[in-house]
Each structure stands twice: as C-alpha cells, then as structure tokens.
C-alpha cells in the first residue's frame, strides 16, 4: 500500500479536484496510483472524523463532503473517460481499483459513528438547518438504514448474507439470460426466408452469420443468421414475410432462460424471497413498501391508483388497435377469417404504420443539421427560461476534438453554469446511447465563494462527413432535447448544498420529468419549424411532414400503454407476494386483467425481465409511466397559458425554472411539482397527448 502511495506524483492530474478536469493530461497510467492514494487519504480522514465529529452541519456534513470529494471527483473522471475514450489500458486500470473504490464507499455509508452523528443532528431538531439541509441529512440516514445499519447481531449478519446472495443471484440471472439468448439462432439460406427484410437488417443478419463462422455470408446471398438479440430479432418480427419463421422466433423469445441449462425460474423465486426477508428485517411489510419508501410515490396504493387510471383509459384503445389491425391484415391478405397471433402483431403494425404515416426517416435528415438544431434549442431555452448559451470552445481541455463547450448566462449576463457536448458516435472508443452526467456540482464554500455546476451531455448521432454537417434523424433531435432537459436541472439549480443540488437526490420516479418535458417541444410546430430548415437550401420542413410526425406519435398508444401497465402491475404484485404466494398465479391473474391478447400458456417472460430481477427497477418499473405523467402535465401548464402567447410562455417557463429546475433534490418532488403546478399531478394531459383522453 505504502509503496503505491509513494509513487503518486504531485502533478498527477487526477489529484486536482473542484475544477474542470485536465482531459488533455489524464492518462490510464495515472489511474491506479491516484485512486489508491485518494482511498488511503479518505480512509485516514474518515477515522479522524469519526473521532472528532460534532453533530452539526459544519461539524459533520461539510467535513464529510470535503473528505469524499477528491476520490469521488477523480473516480467520476475515470468513469467518464471509460465511456467516451475507452482503451484497453484504461479498462484494465479501472478494473484493478474498482472493487477498492466500492469498498471505500461502503465503509463510509456503514460507519456507525457517522450514522450516530447524523441521528443526533436530526434528534436535536436540525438546529440551524434549512429544509434542503434537512433533506440531505434524512437521505443519508435513510441510506445507512436501508443498508442495515440499525440491525444488531444475528439480524445484521442475516441481512448482510442476503445482500451478498442477492447480488450473486442478480449476476447469475443476467448471465443465464445472456447465455440463453446466445444459445438460439436461426440460420437462413433461402432468399425467400428473408423476404421483406430491409437492407440494413439483411446486412446485420449477414454480419451475424460471418461472426458465427460463415465466412462468405453476404447481405445479398446469405446465409443470414437471426438471433434473439433485439437489433436482429425486432426487424425480423416487424418485416419478415414468413409467418412460420416469426412464430419460431417468437416462441423462442418468450421462453428464453426458462429451461435447463439456463433456467432462471428458480432464481426468480429465490430473489423474491430474499428481498421479502430483507424488507421484513428493515421493518417493511413487503419489498414493494421498501422500494416505495424512497420514491415520489410513497405507497403501493398510489402506484396502483395511477396504473388503474391508465389501464382504464388504454384498454378500449388497445382493443380497437387489435380490431383495426385485424381488419387491415384481412384486407391485405384477402383472408376474411384471418386471426392475428402474437408473432403477427409487429409485422402488420409496421405495414399499417407505413400506409398511414409513410415518410422516409432518412429523407428528413437534411432538415436537421446540428448547428441549426442547437441554435433552435438555445433560442427555446432563452424564450422559456431567460438564459443565454454561448459557445466557448477552447477555454477548457476536452477529451476529443469534436467535443464542444458552452457557457450558460442568466438574464443579467452573469455566468451560472457550463456544459460539454459530445455529439457524435465513435464506436471504437465511445459507449452507445445518450446520457447526461455531472462533471461538477454547484457548491458554496465556507468562504462564501460559489463554484458553478458543469454537465456532460453525451449523444451518439451521425458525425459530419467532409463539408456536410451532422444531419440528425428526428429521433436524434428528440434525444438531444431529452438530455438537455436533464442538463438544465443540473445547471439551473439554485441550491448551494451539493448533497441535494441539481439532480442529486431527486427520486427515481421523478428524475425524468425535465428531460421528457423538453421532448414535448419537438412536437410544438413553431419550435420544430424554427430549427428544421434544409441545410443547403434553407427550405422549411414541409408542413405535411410535420403533421405526419405529430400524428405518428399517438399510433397504437393504447396498446403500448397497456403493455407498460401490465409490466408495472406485475412488478408491484410480485414484490408484495406473501410467503406462500405463487408466482405463476400472480402472472396469470395480472395477465388476465392487463392484456388484450393473453400470453401463450408456455410464455415465461419473467425469465427475461432483467429490469426487475437484475437491474435497479425492482418495484419501480412503474417509474417510466409515473414520470411521463409529470412531464406531460408540466407541458400542459404551457398549453393552458397559451403556447402562442410569448409572454405567458416566458412567465410559465420562469416558474418551471424557479421550481422544478432550481429546487431539484432539495425538496420532496411532490412538493416541487405542486409549487410549479399549484396542485398535484394529473393523468389528463398524458392521456390527451396520446389520443387516449
Ligand atoms: Zn433520461
């Protein structure tokens, strides 16, 4: 240990915290020495604080923050680089210290002296603390309690054993799902077998065949290999004309990981039982109650009420969707008695979509050039929130030449935040998807000086080619708006305590409110038309294209809603199952009430539901729909004020900024929402926007 510390040079760029990272200097070789040094210092500081703490904000919470910041900052830079500038060296360095970083975090989270100090601060009536500080204290106490700190002796040991068992079960569940998914493949050699597949799907299927050893596979002549991985599975289900092959694939998909040697069935039973036991040890009646104790929805009853509203609204539409699709398929096939089965739905739904809304996604790209889309987005931010955004490339080091840096100013010209934008796909070194992450939190030091928040906005859109700028698809535009919404909540915070500033400590089911809220503006005609101009001719997006985009938004919304309600209900019910309850019984009951086309008798969908068995969504899958209710209802406040009334939009935008964006995690989200909306959330707007109202 000591030797590693000696090797840390003071100019190691990972040791500088609290300022924009030196991406021009950081290398994989810096990681191990810096992280081990910071862990050792944190550990020593923790021991000292445990012995000297005074149960006040300045005597406990602030020193704890100062103690943890150097390591958490360095680690966040390493993690960030791992996702945007990956390399074998960085991955190795990251793996070498990752376990030690996790252990160091647990050491603090489970420290009894720190916990007792926080409890005393609370017990003394939070003397001198504002509501944001109280929430920060409560959240730390709650974290410690949910990790079992209040348990003694045998109960504590049992809790820890369950914790370890659950983490192993989750890993086994996802490994078995992965193995089962890999174990199935349909290798097709006849052109007629792949009739209907678009060129991109044929190319992928041929690439999959090559990877499996068919060295001369080509998109044109095959062989084509279809697996249960979504990028191959989904296009086949949506486009392949061979119904019998779709059926084989579908049956394989819904029975994934449901039989030896990759049977997740027994793991599901054990995971549910272990969670149930943990919840009881902590004093909750069920695991659903435990999960909801840290969400915006506080009881299963609240979640069920929402799901019931959505179910009642969606069901008749889902029934109509099926009837309509059946009539369409009968017309197309000339078979008046045709009955659609599960493996037919995706195929016919795509045909009907093409018929109704047919526009070529690719043909829209020239209307969405990144520079103009950014101008339009920033102009919208000015109209809504009174902020100005300027490009200031070059003032800080970046991790790639394409990365941009922007500063955010308020109406008085005062800088309040900044963000990096890494827009383009770089498959060789950058993870897929899009996300917002925190670079620096807003914090006011004990000397009164303010440090401004900085965000990372990461997308994976098409890069520019030669003289052509990045031409975005409409869904890439929506993604940019979405991540920008997350970024706004981080950057426009007015909270000075980083523990609860910005997105920190925003409940899981409320965190998508600002992001989905921003997406709504992509369907606001004047906003979209202001940024959708042909990059060469300047010609506006044709009006009828906008109309189709807007109409396609509600296509089969009833069916999609009902499906999400089905999964959400199943998740909650399974996590309220009594000791002698039957998983199969719950599935049968919930399916009967929440599907239009009941699952096949052999359907074992739960064996592949990794969101709740191997991800973070246990008794939390409903969060998707919960946050959509909030974001749609927030947008409705602008509709009510009058979308064409610039002054009313600015007034409402200011209120959104002062509540949702400014308060972030410093208040309970129900309180924040009520401060913006003047009442609790309502499902009316979400249902109306989706044509279900
Ligand atoms: Zn999001």
Query: Looking at the structure, do residues 213 and 66 belong to the same domain, yes or no?
Result: no
Examine residue 160 and state whether it is found in any structural domain, yes or no.
Answer: no
- CA distances to 59, 480, 673 from 146, rounded to whole Å, are 24, 35, 26
Examine residue 521 and state whether it is found in any structural domain, yes or no.
Answer: yes
pTM of the model: 0.92
Instruction: Choose the final residue of a domain: 238, 254, 270.
Output: 254
Q: Which residues surround ligand 1, an ion (CB under 5 A)?
A: 515
CATH number at residue 80: 1.20.1050.40
Beta-bridge partner residues of 422: 458
CA of 575 to the centre of ligand 1 (A): 25
Query: Looking at the structure, do residues 132 and 191 belong to the same domain, yes or no?
Result: no
CA 210 to chain centre: 33
**C-alpha neighbours within 13 Å on the C-beta side of residue 313:** 21
CA of 479 to the centre of ligand 1 (A): 9
Query: Looking at the structure, do residues 495 and 639 belong to the same domain, yes or no?
Result: yes
| DSSP helix/strand/coil, 105 | helix
pLDDT at 10: 81
pLDDT at 7: 62
Examine residue 582 and state whether it is found in any structural domain, yes or no.
Answer: no
Query: Looking at the structure, do residues 102 and 238 belong to the same domain, yes or no?
Result: no
Examine residue 460 and state whether it is found in any structural domain, yes or no.
Answer: yes
Residues 6 or more apart in contact with residue 117 via CB below 8 angstroms: 53, 55, 60
Examine residue 196 and state whether it is found in any structural domain, yes or no.
Answer: yes
Rounded Cα gap, residues 386 and 380, in angstroms: 9
Query: Looking at the structure, do residues 138 and 225 belong to the same domain, yes or no?
Result: no
pLDDT at 548: 92
Best CA proximity match to 288, nearest among 660, 570, 518: 570
pLDDT at 489: 98
Query: Looking at the structure, do residues 136 and 203 belong to the same domain, yes or no?
Result: no
Query: Looking at the structure, do residues 146 and 188 belong to the same domain, yes or no?
Result: no
Examine residue 122 and state whether it is found in any structural domain, yes or no.
Answer: yes
CA of 254 to the centre of ligand 1 (A): 28
Catalytic machinery residues: 483
Query: Looking at the structure, do residues 145 and 209 belong to the same domain, yes or no?
Result: no
pLDDT tens digits, 439-449: 999 999 888 89
Instruction: Choose the final residue of a domain: 254, 283, 301.
Output: 254
Rounded Cα gap, residues 263 and 266, in angstroms: 7
CA of 117 to the centre of ligand 1 (A): 35
Domain count of the fold of the chain: 3
Splitting the chain (693 residues) into consecutive groups of 10 residues, what average pLDDT does each group show?
56 93 96 97 97 96 96 96 95 93 90 96 94 96 93 93 92 92 95 94 93 95 94 93 98 97 96 98 97 94 96 98 98 97 97 89 91 97 98 97 98 97 92 93 91 97 90 94 98 97 96 97 96 95 92 95 98 96 96 96 95 92 96 98 96 98 96 98 97 93
For every residue of 556-580, DSSP letters joined together read: THHHHHHHHHHHHHHHHHHTT--TT
Query: Looking at the structure, do residues 381 and 504 belong to the same domain, yes or no?
Result: yes
Best CA proximity match to 278, nearest among 172, 150, 173: 150
| DSSP helix/strand/coil, 498 | coil
Best CA proximity match to 659, nearest among 643, 686, 681, 677: 677
The helix (run of H) or strand (run of E) holding residue 51 is helix 28-52
CA of 261 to the centre of ligand 1 (A): 36
C-beta separation of 120 from 56 below 8 A = no
Residues 6 or more apart in contact with residue 597 via CB below 8 angstroms: 322, 340, 342, 345
pLDDT at 4: 46
How many secondary structure helices (H) and strands (E) does the chain include? Answer: 28, 9
Instruction: Choose the final residue of a domain: 254, 270, 292.
Output: 254
Strand 404-409 to 415-424 pairing: antiparallel
- What sign results for the dihedral spanned by CA atoms 203, 206, 207, 208? positive
Query: Looking at the structure, do residues 204 and 80 belong to the same domain, yes or no?
Result: no
Query: Looking at the structure, do residues 495 and 443 belong to the same domain, yes or no?
Result: yes
Query: Looking at the structure, do residues 427 and 506 belong to the same domain, yes or no?
Result: yes
CATH number at residue 639: 1.10.1370.40
Give long-range contacts, CB 8 A cutoff, 24+ apart: 522-527: 522/474, 522/477, 522/478, 522/481, 523/549, 523/550, 523/553, 524/643, 525/550, 526/643, 526/644, 527/376, 527/380
Beta-bridge partner residues of 571: none
94: containing domain:
13-150
Examine residue 270 and state whether it is found in any structural domain, yes or no.
Answer: no
Best CA proximity match to 329, nearest among 347, 303, 354: 347
pLDDT at 329: 98
Examine residue 287 and state whether it is found in any structural domain, yes or no.
Answer: no
């Amino acid at each position: 240990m000591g030797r590693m510390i000696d090797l840390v040079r003071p100019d190691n760029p990972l040791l500088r915290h609290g300022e924009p990272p030196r991406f021009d200097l950081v290398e994989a070789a810096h990681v191990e020495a810096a992280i081990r040094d910071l862990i050792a210092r944190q550990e020593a500081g923790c021991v000292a604080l445990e012995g000297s703490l005074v149960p006040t904000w300045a005597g406990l919470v602030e020193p704890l923050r100062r103690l943890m910041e150097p390591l958490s900052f360095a680690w966040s830079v390493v993690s960030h680089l791992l996702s945007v500038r990956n390399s074998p060296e960085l991955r190795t360095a990251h793996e070498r210290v990752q376990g030690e970083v996790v252990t160091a975090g647990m050491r603090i989270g489970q420290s009894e002296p720190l916990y007792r100090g926080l409890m005393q601060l609370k017990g003394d009536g939070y003397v001198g603390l504002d509501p944001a500080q109280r929430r920060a204290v409560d959240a730390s106490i709650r974290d410690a309690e949910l990790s079992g700190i209040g348990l003694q002796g045998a109960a504590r040991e049992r809790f820890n054993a369950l914790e370890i068992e659950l983490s192993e079960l989750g890993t086994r569940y996802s490994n078995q799902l992965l193995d089962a998914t890999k174990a199935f493949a349909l290798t097709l050699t006849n052109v007629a077998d792949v009739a209907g597949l678009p060129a991109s799907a044929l190319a992928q299927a041929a690439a999959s065949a090559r990877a499996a050893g068919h060295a001369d596979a080509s998109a044109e002549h095959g062989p084509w290999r279809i697996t249960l991985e979504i990028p191959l599975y989904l296009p086949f289900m949506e486009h392949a004309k061979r119904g019998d092959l779709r059926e084989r694939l579908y049956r394989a998909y819904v029975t994934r990981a449901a039989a030896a040697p990759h049977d997740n069935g027994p793991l599901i039973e054990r995971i549910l039982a272990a969670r149930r036991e943990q919840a009881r040890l902590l004093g909750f009646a069920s695991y659903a109650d435990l999960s909801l104790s840290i969400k915006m929805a506080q009881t299963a009853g609240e979640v069920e009420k929402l799901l019931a509203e959505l179910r009642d609204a969606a069901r008749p539409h889902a029934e109509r969707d099926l009837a309509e699709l059946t009539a369409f398929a009968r017309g197309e096939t000339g078979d008046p008695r045709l009955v659609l089965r599960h493996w037919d739905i995706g195929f016919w739904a795509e045909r009907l979509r093409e018929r109704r809304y047919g526009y070529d996604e690719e043909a829209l790209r020239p209307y969405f050039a990144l520079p103009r889309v950014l101008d339009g987005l920033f102009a919208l931010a000015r109209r809504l929130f009174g902020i100005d955004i300027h490009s200031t490339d070059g003032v800080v080091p970046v991790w790639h030449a394409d990365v941009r840096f922007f500063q955010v100013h308020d109406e008085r010209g005062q800088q309040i935040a900044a963000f990096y934008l890494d827009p383009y796909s770089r498959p060789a070194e950058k993870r897929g998807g899009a996300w917002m992450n925190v670079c620096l939190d807003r914090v006011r030091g004990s000397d009164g000086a303010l440090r401004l928040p900085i965000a990372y906005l990461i997308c994976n859109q098409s890069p520019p080619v030669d003289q052509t700028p990045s031409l975005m698809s409409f869904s890439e535009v929506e993604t940019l708006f979405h991540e920008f919404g997350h970024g706004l909540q981080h950057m426009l915070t007015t909270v000075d305590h980083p523990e609860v500033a910005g997105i920190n400590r925003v409940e899981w089911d409320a965190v998508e409110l600002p992001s989905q809220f921003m997406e709504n503006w992509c369907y606001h005609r004047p906003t979209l038309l202001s940024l959708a101009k042909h990059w060469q001719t300047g010609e506006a997006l044709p009006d009828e294209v906008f109309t189709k985009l807007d109409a396609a938004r509600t296509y089969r919304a009833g069916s999609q809603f009902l499906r999400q309600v089905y999964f959400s209900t199943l998740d909650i019910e399974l996590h309220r199952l009594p000791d002698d309850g039957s998983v199969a019984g719950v599935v049968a009951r919930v399916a009967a009430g929440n599907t239009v086309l009941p699952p096949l008798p052999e359907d074992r969908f739960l064996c592949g539901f990794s969101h709740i068995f191997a991800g973070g969504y246990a008794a939390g899958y409903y969060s998707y729909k919960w946050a959509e209710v909030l974001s749609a209802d927030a947008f409705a406040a602008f509709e009510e004020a009058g979308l064409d009334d610039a002054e009313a939009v600015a007034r409402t935008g200011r209120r959104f900024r002062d509540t949702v964006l400014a308060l972030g995690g410093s208040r309970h989200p129900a309180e924040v929402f009520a401060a913006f909306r003047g009442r609790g959330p309502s499902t009316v707007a979400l249902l109306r926007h989706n044509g279900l109202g």
